[in-house]
Structures are given as structure tokens and as C-alpha cells.
Amino acid sequence: MCGITGWIDWRKDLSGYPAILETMTRTLTHRGPDASGVWISRHCALGHTRLSVIDPENGAQPMTRTAGSYPYTIVYNGELYNAPELRRQLIERNHAFQTTCDTEVLLFSYIEWGKSCVERFNGIFAFAIWDDREQTLFLARDRLGVKPLFYVHQNDMLLFGSEPKAILAHPDFPAEVDAEGLAEVFAIGPARTPGHGIFRHMAELKPGYCIEFTQNGLAKRAYWQLESKPHEDDLETTAARIGDLLRDAAVRQLVSDVPLCTMLSGGVDSSALTALAARQYASDNRGRLHTFSVNYVDNDKYFQANAFQPNADAPWIARMSDFLGTRHHEILFDTPDLIESLYASVYARDTPGMADVDGSLYLFCREIKKHATVSVSGEAADEIFGGYPWFHREEMLSADTFPWSLALDSRVGLLAPELTDWMQPEKYVQRRYQEALLEVPRLPGETPQQNRMREMSYLSITRFMPTLLDRKDRMSMACGLEVRVPFCDHRLVEYVWNIPWEMKMTGNQEKGILRKALVGVLPEDVLHRKKSPYPKTHNPNYLTAVRQHMMEILQDSSSPLLPLIDRERVGAMAKAEATELYTPWFGQLMSGPQMFAYLIQVDAWLRRYKVSIR
């Protein structure tokens, strides 16, 4: 993968400002540690940092190709998994390739098919193409939003970047947040409303959207969205179709000219992808597949099963690694590692995130990078197939809000009354929730229960899944590691979206239809393992450490967090009994210790980015 950034300005000759572009580009070096490049014309400046995965010897960017004597220049972050098919079509149309990399395939696709090229792509991508003849910039992002893209449009200027930090490096764009941005942080966070960039005037290009920027202004359109229609396949056909789609996606995403591995938790999703990868490795005589898992010091001693985390991963990981004959690596972290990672993960995300859940993934990816450049992950299966508790627990299904964030009152109670009066968090969350429901593509004739499950699927795919995809992209790319997510193949998502809930729950088990599709791929005991989320530490030393850090912030008069919180209430929470602190307030993993860690991250974010509140 790579990092991309750019600056288009109709008022200035950008050839006179190379240092600004170079500074913006350097902020993304972690995303592309292998090479970097810039390209500047009168009104367009593009920067790129490269992580070499396909054709490392070639494919340098920015890349320029000429058609009809007019140059087209691209910066691109991603992978096209159908590049071989597109290459053959383009060669038939007389395009002459100089490399074997997919960057050139994408650029020639735009030259050949124009803006509609995005509809032909199977992959994960964010890219910008400058058409010198038309003096036009075209920006696009993949359908599910696996690859990030942020932008700022002000008057005659457009700034964009893979991460907010690239835009913040421009001298004309200060780090500011307003009431809406703070509502995102304190009421929606660590999720984020699609299209929202947190920082004032910054936006995110939504998944499945593209932009055209000319001297006449900015035009944005959706080129893909979920469509609801009757599902006509029977149970056996449906299971077979899912199996075919998943196998095709997994095999396509194993293509790499650099070392590749999988992340293995012992759950159905990661085990399935690891099994498919191991089979393909054996078929191709590529040797033993390397697998990686994460664990924490003394977790075996302190783990206690609960409704949100029913069992430990370690025995299941060993079961799958032995079954498949993989070369497995367990990465072990202790509390001091997790505390340190809270700060690194804030910079990786450019905002407060999922606390130690982010931080541990950052540390995990950093260790994997020592052995591999590409990893495959089971992210997104729970959103697509309905694996989360909120698909199955009545109090979550009936909640008139985002079901992964039911403790808004307790969160708001930790804030300064003046802040809550200003940003109106309850009203803000309710407005965002109702906006999301209005987007749901309905299917006439569905029962209320079927309609509600469609809503839950839509909320999960468009509101919760982006949080985890952001997490996976930022934490991995902060370490120069590319992570691929086959469950985000848009063909699979489109197909599963319309499978009736009763069929998704085949066997009366969450993700039942996926389990049926994987019969013969996984051992029976793994196939029917109860879902368990990404592992977190259960060591009481972690709670002790974040309490202490929180108390230090409360006693630091220079902390920018203090005016935003109710110090007395946060202090009381920091002194509460541990048993009072383990009800999740976001998702399944973030409870009391993670609330302290989240506030620590907010404090670190305000300090590091010198955020002004306006």
C-alpha cells in the first residue's frame, strides 16, 4: 500500500511551492517506506509514498502516461484484484504497458473508460488522477472504504491526503474543531459519521464515492451503493455461492511479490481465510504459510468468560495451526507496552481511537512487519453476516440508537456541563442515527422483524465497520504493513446483503450461513465455535496503570482536556471499584479501563495536534 496527497489551487502557480508538497508527502512516509515522489504543475501538485508489493522494481509514482499527446498523472493507494483481466482488455484496446503493476492498469482504465472506470474495479483503493488537457482532478475511493481518503475544499483550493496529517501539514489549514467535531469525539467516537473528518472544514470521501474538481467547482457522486432485492436462491445454492465468492476473493488477495501471512485468532472468520490460504500455498508449492496471533501477559490467569467474550483464543489458535500445518507466531504484550501504544496509535489515527484495542493492533502489526509485508485478516465478516451481539440481544435490537453505543448518558456525565450545553450530544447522536435509518434501502413486503434486521445490517456495514477498517488501515500502515480483507469483496457483500435473516441464521447460530458454506474447510469444532472478539488484556495491572495516568492528567493544570470534562466525576470514576467498571460503553471491548484510556488519548491528541476549539 501507499500514501497519497495533493494540492490543487486555481489561484496560485504551485511550481513555486515545492517545499509545502514535500512536507505533506513526508507525513505519509510510514505508509510507503520504500520510495517517495512528487509531481508539480502550474495548478496541481501530487505526492506519493510507496510500499512495494507488486513489481517492486517498477511502478514508481506519481506515474504519468500520455494519450493523444496529453499527459495523465496518478497517485494511488491500494490493490486491484482484477488487474489481470483489466490488463487483457486494455491491451486489446492498444494500450502499451511498461510495468506489471496495477497502478498502470488503473491509469489506463481511466484513460480508456473515463470516470466510469471505477465501476469495473474489484479492489481496495483511493486514487487521484490529473487530466492535464481538461485541467481536472478525479478522486475516487473503493466501495467499502477499506482505503482512506480525506479532503478539504475551500474556494478555489482542494487539499487531499490518505490521512488527515497530510492536510494538516499545509500551512493554510490549522488544526481546529468545533461543536460538531467534539460531538463526534465524545458522543459518536471512537466511531465516526461517514464523510466527517473531525477537524473543522475537513471531510472524508465516503466509500463508493468519487469527486471531480475543475475550475467550475467540485462535483461529488456515488458510483456504488447497496441495493435491496428479493433473494431467490435456496439454502444449498446460497451456501455454495458464498463459498465460491469467498474462495475467489481469498485467492485473488494472495497475490504478492513480497512475504505474506495471515492473522489467526482461531475464530471462524480468520480460520477460514487461513485455511483457504494454506490450501493455495500447498497447491502453488509456496511452502508453509506463516500465521500470527496476539496475546497478553497473564491473560490465561485472569481471563473470565462473559457474554461479550465467551472464551479465550489460544487453544483454538493452536488447534487451527496444527490442523493446517502453519508456521505460527504468538506475539505477547504486557501492560507497559499497551500504555506506550496509546500515544502512538493516536498519531496513527490522527484522532482518539479504540484505546488499547488500537494500540495492541499497532504493536501486533509492528511485530508482523519484521517477518512479512502483507497480511490477510478476517475483518468485516461480523458486519456482513450478522455476528455481533446487537443482532441477537433484544435490548440492543430495540434500542433507538446505535446499538454498539448504549451508554451515552454515562459518557456525557463525564463531560463539563458547559460543553454538553454547547454541543448537545444526545440530539447530535439521535440526528445521526435517524440520518442513517433514512439511508437504508428498504425492500417492500418485508415483515417488521426482517426490516429491523436489514436496518441493523446497514448500520453495521456503514457505521460500525468503518471504525474497524480505519483501525486496521491506520495501525497497519503506521508500521508499513499492508492488510487485506477478503470479506470486503463487494461481490460477496452485495450477495449476502439480500440473504434473508432466517437463512443467515441457519442452524440457529450467528453467521450460520457462513458456517454452512465452510463445511469441509474447517474442523467441526472450530466451525461451531461461539464468536469471540479481538482479544484484549484482562490483567488488572492495566486498569491500575490507566487509573494512575488519568489521575496525573486530573492534577495537571496545563492539560487541555480539563476544561472539557467534569473533573469531580472522572476522579470519582477513577476511584471506583473494579467490578463497577466492566460494562461495555462501545462495542464489546471498551469498558471502564478503555474509558480512562480514551480520555488519555483525547488529552494526547489535543496536545500533539495543538487543537484549537472554535
Half-sphere exposure of 569 (CA within 13 A, CB side): 12
DSSP label at residue 545: H
Rounded to whole angstroms, the Cα distance separating 39 from 34 reads 18
DSSP label at residue 187: I
CA distances from 179 to 71, 195, 447 (A): 44, 16, 39
Rounded to whole angstroms, the Cα distance separating 298 from 490 reads 40
Cβ–Cβ < 8 Å for 81, 35: no
Cβ–Cβ < 8 Å for 164, 192: no
CB atoms within 10 A of CB 608: 13
State the chain's maximal CA–CA distance in angstroms. 72
Rounded to whole angstroms, the Cα distance separating 223 from 116 reads 8
Rounded to whole angstroms, the Cα distance separating 273 from 111 reads 35
The helix/strand/coil state of 217 is strand
Partners of 374 in the beta sheet? 260, 482
The helix/strand/coil state of 91 is helix
Exposed / middle / buried, residue 557 (Cβ in 10 Å: 0-12, 13-18, 19+): exposed
Q: Which active-site residues does the annotation give? A: 2
Q: End-to-end alpha-carbon separation of the chain, Å? A: 35
Cβ–Cβ < 8 Å for 243, 272: no
For residue 34, what is its C-alpha cell? 520504500
Output the CA angle 441-407-197, nearest 5 degrees: 55
